């Protein structure tokens, strides 16, 4: 079935794709086709903040990927959630609004030889789409669609951890998004009146009313239509409703399927590592060795502490009475545990004096469990998850078949460098030092994971391998770079090098991971491209 010709075709209605669709359709003379493999975002648990528990590893909202066994994690394989459906990962993520550090963007500018990626330029773009709870100021704007709210909860255990961190020497922070996120404080979240705000509600709801946007869900993109001679991307082949479909573009295809999905589509289309594609029987349209390489992610070390004499969510949900009170509070006030982002209290600090800027991020939670998807522990405890913000380990993602539905091979290679192992050891020791401070000491914290019997460097590296897991921030698999960078896939304007009329606009284009959560930086990248196209 032929769907006609559009000015732009956007593949993926996630954090980047929804913003692009909104911005491009603001021009009534521009026609846009938006393709999304998943369904509409009409599943209730997408919108209740705590509903991420029911969205991750749910085929309705998650691609349900798994990694290969990872040597650095004692050969464990991890669940690797990626959002599926309108809103993409913004429908299942932690809702944390985090830009990172100014130096992240200045490094992008240096690596791409494009000053327009620097912190000053990026800050202006953040202001274009955000609606900040504190109003307009030097760092924020309240004119955009992306609501940034304060959290609607209160936990004494979180306050005590914050006091312990301040006692240790970490300054209190009331805004992590001013270019230097050093400090401890509560995360700002993308919620509106106690509901999750995903990019579908923020950007697509308005765009969908415009006659120049055509949106198709349940559309699994098979291949891009790229002329083997001219290297011009002319359109998209996709599958939906048991039929094959085709749509063409007279301007550009904007690939926004994410750090996993964009690689899959490029490789199925003959753009990638020549030997890999030939092995799978895929004609090589353009040999690009960097496709699927340079994968970076934040590995979190989930340290768990049992406490006494202070309530956590573990015991609050043990009875039907407690659950009833939680539900009633959310029903009446849109606050309390059901309004909780997965992590509430944050901290950015240094693992050692060797780091000039914060290289650790903490996500502190008033709860604990053995592993994701299982019940909370029956005793009071909190979790202090800590991740290395700028890992040196590099992984990869590649297709294993031409089949649209075949799962890719994902290998993050966590803890594969001595530097990452050293930071992991430092992070565990630093956490112990903070927990031992007076404000928490009164509650007799007992380290359940990894366990205080593990003390020397080798033992702590093994501990990190046991408690480490993804915090869901894969980036860099189609990185942008300078002309001389032979492993970069994209130029500074996110065009696929050597292909005309094709850009990749999502987190895969980051040359280096940002120092924090990656959803907002992905949206900023889309904002820059939308401005250039308009």
Distance, CA of 103 to CA of 114 (rounded, Å): 14
Residues 6+ away with beta carbon under 8 Å from 425? 457, 460, 461, 464
Neighbours of 374 (CB within 10 A): 8
Residue 6 and residue 32 in contact, taking contact as beta carbons nearer than 8 Å: yes
Q: How far apart are CA 36 and CA 221, in angstroms?
A: 8
The answer to whether the beta carbons of residues 272 and 521 sit under 8 Å apart is no
CA distance 212 to 227: 27
C-alpha distances in angstroms, 461 versus 69, 301, 415, 448?
A: 17, 11, 9, 17
Place of tokens 């092995």: 279
- At 379, list the tokens: 């005793």
Which is nearest to 298 in space by CA: 168, 427, 444? 427
Question: HSE (CB half, 13 Å, CA atoms) of 301?
Answer: 34
| Cα separation, 49 vs 462, whole angstroms | 34
Interhelix angle 156-168/418-435, nearest 10 degrees: 110
Length of the chain: 534
Rounded Cα distance between 162 and 19, Å, is: 35
- Asked if 196 and 44 touch (Cβ cutoff 8 Å), the reply is no
Task: Quote the tokens at residue 222.
Answer: 């098979």
Q: Which of 47, 298, 363, 473 is catalytic?
A: 473
Residue 350 annotated as catalytic: no
Q: Which two tokens stand for residue 304?
A: 């768990």
Six-digit token string for 118: 């620097």
Q: How many helices (H) and strands (E) does the chain have?
A: 16, 24
User: Sign of dihedral through CA atoms 40, 241, 33, 268?
Assistant: positive
For residue 95 the two structure tokens come to 């809702």
**Which residues have a catalytic role annotated?**
473
């Amino acid at each position: 079935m032929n769907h006609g010709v559009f000015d732009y075709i956007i593949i993926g209605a996630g954090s980047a794709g929804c913003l692009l669709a909104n911005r491009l359709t603001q021009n009534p003379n521009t026609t846009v086709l938006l393709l999304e493999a998943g369904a509409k975002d009409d599943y209730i648990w997408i919108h209740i903040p705590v509903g991420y528990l029911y969205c991750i590893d749910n085929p309705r909202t998650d691609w349900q990927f798994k990694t290969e066994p990872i040597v650095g994690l004692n050969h464990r394989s991890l669940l690797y959630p990626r959002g599926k459906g309108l809103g993409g990962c913004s429908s299942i993520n932690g809702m944390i609004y985090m830009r990172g550090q100014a130096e992240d963007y200045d490094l992008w500018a240096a690596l791409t030889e494009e000053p327009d990626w620097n912190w000053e330029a990026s800050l202006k773009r953040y202001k274009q789409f955000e609606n900040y709870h504190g109003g307009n100021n030097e760092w924020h704007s309240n004119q955009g669609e992306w609501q940034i709210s304060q959290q609607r909860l209160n936990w004494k255990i979180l306050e005590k951890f914050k006091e312990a961190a301040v006692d240790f020497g970490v300054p209190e922070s009331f805004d992590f998004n001013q270019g230097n996120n050093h400090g401890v404080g509560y995360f700002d979240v993308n919620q509106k009146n106690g509901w999750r705000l995903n990019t579908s509600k923020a950007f697509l709801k308005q765009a969908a009313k415009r006659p120049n946007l055509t949106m198709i869900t349940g559309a699994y993109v098979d291949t891009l239509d790229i002329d083997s001679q001219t290297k011009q991307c002319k359109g998209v082949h996709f599958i939906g409703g048991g039929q094959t479909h085709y749509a063409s573009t007279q301007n550009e295809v904007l690939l926004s399927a994410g750090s996993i999905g964009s690689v899959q589509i490029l490789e199925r289309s003959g753009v990638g590592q020549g030997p890999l594609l030939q092995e799978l029987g895929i004609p090589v349209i353009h040999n690009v060795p960097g496709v699927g390489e340079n994968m970076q992610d934040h590995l979190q070390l989930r340290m768990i502490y049992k406490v006494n004499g202070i309530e956590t969510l573990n015991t609050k949900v043990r009875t039907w009475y407690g659950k009833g009170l939680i539900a009633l509070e959310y029903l009446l006030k849109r606050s309390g545990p059901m309004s909780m982002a997965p992590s509430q209290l944050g901290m950015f600090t240094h693992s050692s004096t060797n780091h000039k800027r914060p290289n650790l991020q903490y996500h502190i939670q008033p709860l604990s469990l053995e592993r994701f998807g299982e019940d909370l522990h029956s005793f009071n405890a909190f979790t202090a998850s800590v991740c290395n913000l700028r890992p040196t380990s590099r992984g990869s993602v590649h297709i294993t078949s031409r089949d649209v539905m075949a799962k890719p091979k994902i290998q993050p290679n966590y803890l594969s460098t001595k530097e990452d192992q050293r930071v992991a050891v430092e992070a565990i020791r630093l956490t112990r030092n903070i927990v031992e401070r007076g404000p928490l000491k009164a509650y007799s914290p007992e380290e359940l994971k990894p366990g205080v019997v593990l003390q020397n460097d080798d033992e702590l590296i093994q501990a990190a391998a046991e408690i480490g897991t993804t915090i869901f921030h894969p980036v860099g698999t189609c990185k942008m770079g300078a002309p001389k960078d032979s492993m970069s896939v994209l130029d500074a304007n996110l065009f696929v090098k050597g292909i005309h009329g094709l850009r990749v606009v999502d987190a895969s284009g980051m040359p280096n991971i940002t120092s924090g959560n990656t959803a907002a930086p992905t949206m900023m990248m889309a904002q820059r491209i939308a401005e250039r196209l308009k």
